[in-house]
């Protein structure tokens, strides 16, 4: 059994240490908001926060997260996430929607450290998050919008 703290709740999961955190979240804990896209940290669909920093859960063995704090889209809270989700809805960013949990988790990490990102900052922070529907233009606009909301 491996102890992890998921969205503020201590959990103990029955998984081999090499199991990627992604599959612990999805299969052991039923938290399916974090998505599987590639399994090799190429697409960002599985982005979660580990102690507040964005990581690709598909390449993070659960043993590396033992005893640590994991935040998924289901438990993501705070001003940045709320502002991002509101902006995502306001600008109708999603198309198929499959990548958007990961996009929002990456964007939240960006805003946590950079309250006024430029287009270039956004491109750098989100370049690891693929969107096959190419909603990128709206993602950029929505991150700016959320940043404006947060600055008040």
Instruction: Give CA–CA dist 150/146, Å, rounded.
Output: 6
Helix axis angle, 100-113 to 136-151, nearest 10°: 40
Taking CB under 8 A as the binding criterion, the range among 1-9, 27-35, 108-116, 144-152 that sits at the site for other proteins is 27-35
Kindly identify the residues of this chain, within the stretch 85-124, that bind other proteins according to CB under 8 A. 85, 88-89, 92-101, 104, 122-124
64 counts as binding other proteins under rule CB under 8 A: no
Residue in 129, 135, 133 with CA at minimum distance from that of residue 38 = 129
Q: Taking the complex as a whole, how short is the minimal distance between the CB of residue 12 and other proteins, in angstroms?
A: 16
36 counts as binding other proteins under rule CB under 8 A: yes
Give contact residues for other proteins (rule: CB under 8 A).
15-16, 19-20, 23, 26-28, 30-40, 42-43, 45, 72-74, 84-85, 88-89, 92-101, 104, 122-124, 126-127, 129-140
């Amino acid at each position: 059994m491996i102890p992890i703290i998921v969205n503020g709740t201590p959990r103990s999961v029955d998984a081999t240490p090499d199991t990627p955190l992604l599959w612990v979240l999805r299969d052991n804990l039923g938290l399916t908001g974090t998505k599987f896209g590639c399994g090799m940290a190429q697409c960002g669909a599985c982005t979660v926060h580990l102690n507040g920093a964005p990581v690709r859960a598909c390449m993070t063995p659960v043993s590396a997260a033992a005893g640590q704090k994991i935040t998924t889209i289901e438990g993501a809270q705070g001003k940045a996430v709320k502002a991002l989700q509101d902006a995502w809805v306001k600008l109708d960013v999603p198309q198929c929607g499959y990548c958007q949990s990961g996009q929002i988790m990456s964007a939240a990490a960006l805003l946590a450290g950079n309250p006024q990102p430029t287009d270039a900052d956004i491109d750098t922070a989100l370049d690891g998050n693929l969107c096959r529907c190419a909603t990128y233009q709206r993602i950029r606009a929505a991150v700016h919008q959320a940043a404006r909301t947060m600055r008040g």
